[in-house]
Amino acid sequence: MKKIITVFAVIGFIATLPSCNNETTMDLATVTAQVDSLASSKIETATATAITECETRMATELKSMTDSMVQAKKMESAAQ
């Protein structure tokens, strides 16, 4: 049984080898343009995500910090 499976695996591997010779060549300008396009879209997405996260964080952390400062100032004024 193992020999039959091995034979079919080898035949399948040999059958797929001709498909590896269908290389398409691309010139450097095309590759560079595609890479630049993909990179710029990922950079724009990452920038938008970072801005959103920063604004959300600023809103929540700034609010809690100002609340604690106001509370400390009230406590300081009440102590005097």
Range of the domain at 41: 37-80
The CA-CA-CA angle for residues 77, 61, 73, to 5°, reads 5
Determine, yes or no, domain membership for 11.
Answer: no
* Confidence (pLDDT) at 16: 74
Name which of 57, 54, 75 is nearest 65 in CA terms. Answer: 57
Determine, yes or no, domain membership for 68.
Answer: yes
Q: What is the pLDDT along the chain (80 residues), one digit of tens a residue?
A: 777 888 878 887 777 766 665 566 778 888 899 999 999 999 999 999 999 999 999 888 888 888 888 988 888 888 77
Structural domains counted in the chain: 1
* Environment class of 77 (CB within 10 Å of its CB; exposed 0-12, middle 13-18, buried 19+): exposed
